[in-house]
Structure 1
Amino acid sequence: MHFAGRIRRRRPCPGDKWHLDEVFIRIQGELGYLWRAVDQNCVVLDILVQSRRDGTAAKRFFKRLLKGLSYTLRVVVTDKLKSYEVARRELMPDAEHRESRYLNNRTENSHRPTRRRERHMQRFKSMRQAQRFRSAHAFISGHFRPRRHLMTAGRYRAVRAKAFKIWTHETCAQSTG
């Protein structure tokens, strides 16, 4: 999990347009909610696993996203869940809020690896395990999967080589220290 934190600190500054969504996950037969935020470049900003999907849960997620933010957020895109509006009004009153079920496809597509990985792991055993795994997996996976369709082959190889170099540096530094 230390690797994911180190990689998170190395990523570029996130964009000023965020897409937020939540998805149901089963944990020990109970329903939980996986909240996810991505920026306009489909870079995962944060993930939070919670037992509720109300205004308080949305505020907690927004506070987590806004911690350490050094710029103003321009646009927040969500589905039509009213909890987002409650949290946005209180914590980000200047940001424009767009509610649409079709504008939010970036986060919907971002959930697909979660579902795939969840099937392979045969579900999560606890909220804590789900939170730790999803947070680490999202950042490490994003580190090794640049947006190939936007790059030339040479640029893609260079970005992948840099990603592996960073990974080697961070993992070797962790194992010797």
Structure 2
Amino acid sequence: MPTARDPLYRRHRFPPEVISYAVWLYFRFPLSLRIVEEMLAARGIGVTYETVRQWGRKFGKPFSDRIRQRAPARDKWHLDEVVISIAGEQHWLWRAVDQNGFVLDVLIQRRRDSRAAQLLMKKLLKSAGTPPRVMITDKLRSSGAARAKMGFHVEYRPHQALNNRAENSHQPTRRRERIMKRFKSSRQAQRFLSVHDQVANLFHIPYPGAATADFRRASRERAFATWREISMTSAIADSRPLRIASFGSAVD
């Protein structure tokens, strides 16, 4: 099995292919850390769920940053916010998506005011470089006030029905929130969702009604090829067990 030259893997005993596979499983599917541990064990990979957690913390952000760098420029922003409970306290998850439903960025805030909306817009502007052509929000006045403070001279559409793409994008977060038995802190939620949404963007495959089977297969192959490039690995496609359990487990 070839070894990646990416210095990110330096001093890790497990091959990069195993690490990237575990990280992909955790962020791509609504799986708990213990389920990922068991799925790896079925393939002869002996690691603990705590090792998977540490891999996610270390490798998740670099991988998501590389996915984000490859994303094309988006000229339409859909902004929405949803309430989430963190450690028994109410927080607001602000999210921005484009016209195709791809998540641009997320931000956890304690408030639902114009300052919180402005922080999200500044974050989006930092990565995009230029303001959007169109901005769509629900009827929350804070978003309009933040747009005015930012000096965005863009087409602005505050309409509930037009913002369904942003509202629907919260559903995967709700599923993960249940699997993880709620987020433990705002920092953990911000760190996890920033990676989770970018991985979901990469593997977003059009529904059967919107694309042919050949197109869907080709899209999936391109996504896997991109994942191998950003993780500097080769594919783990062989179904035979990978006998690496002798490396130990507790800490990699």
Same fold (TM over 0.5): yes
For residue 57 of structure 1, what is the aligned residue in structure 2?
A: 116
Deviation at 1:63, TM superposition (A): 0.5
Confirm whether residue 142 of structure 1 aligns to residue 201 of structure 2: yes
1:153 corresponds to which of 200, 213, 216: 213
What amino acid sits opposite 2:123 in the alignment? R
2:99 corresponds to which of 40, 45, 68: 40
The answer on whether the counterparts of 2:77 and 2:99 sit within 8 Å (CA) in structure 1 is yes
The answer on whether the counterparts of 2:138 and 2:158 sit within 8 Å (CA) in structure 1 is yes
Confirm whether residue 169 of structure 1 aligns to residue 229 of structure 2: yes
Confirm whether residue 77 of structure 1 aligns to residue 132 of structure 2: no
Confirm whether residue 9 of structure 1 aligns to residue 66 of structure 2: no
Distance 1:68 1:135, change over 3 A: closer
The higher relative CO (CA closer than 8 Å, separation ≥ 6) is in: 2
Deviation at 1:150, TM superposition (A): 2.9
Distance 1:122 1:74, change over 3 A: same
Where 2:157 maps in the other structure, the secondary structure is strand
Which region of structure 1 is more displaced relative to structure 2, 155-164 or 141-150?
A: 141-150
The answer on whether the counterparts of 2:125 and 2:131 sit within 8 Å (CA) in structure 1 is no
Kindly report the root-mean-square deviation, in angstroms, between the aligned alpha carbons of the 2 structures.
Answer: 1.4
Identity of aligned residues (%): 51
Q: For residues 72 and 22 of structure 1, what CA distance do their matches in structure 2 show?
A: 20
Q: Deviations over 1:116-163 (max 9, x none)?
A: 110111000000000011110001012112223432211211111011
Distance 1:68 1:109, change over 3 A: closer
Q: Deviations over 1:84-127 (max 9, x none)?
A: 01110121431121111111100111001111110111000000
For residue 25 of structure 1, what is the aligned residue in structure 2?
A: 84
More strand by share: 1
Where 2:181 maps in the other structure, the secondary structure is coil
Where 2:105 maps in the other structure, the secondary structure is strand
Q: For residues 155 and 23 of structure 1, what CA distance do their matches in structure 2 show?
A: 34
Deviation at 1:55, TM superposition (A): 1.1
Q: For residues 157 and 76 of structure 2, what CA distance do their matches in structure 1 show?
A: 10
Q: Deviations over 1:49-92 (max 9, x none)?
A: 11111111111111001114344422111111111011101214
Distance 1:165 1:111, change over 3 A: same
Which aligned segments of 4 or more residues in structure 1 are displaced greater than 3 angstroms? none
Where 1:104 maps in the other structure, the secondary structure is helix
Q: For residues 146 and 176 of structure 2, what CA distance do their matches in structure 1 show?
A: 30
Q: For residues 63 and 136 of structure 2, what CA distance do their matches in structure 1 show?
A: 29
Mark the runs of 5 or more structure 2 residues left unpaired by the alignment.
1-60, 234-252
Normalised by the length of structure 1, the TM-score is 0.91
1:127 corresponds to which of 186, 190, 199: 186
Normalised by the length of structure 2, the TM-score is 0.65
Q: For residues 114 and 131 of structure 2, what CA distance do their matches in structure 1 show?
A: 22
Q: For residues 151 and 214 of structure 2, what CA distance do their matches in structure 1 show?
A: 40
Q: For residues 171 and 93 of structure 1, what CA distance do their matches in structure 2 show?
A: 37
Number of aligned residues: 172
Mark the runs of 5 or more structure 1 residues left unpaired by the alignment.
none
Higher Cα Rg: structure 1 or 2?
2
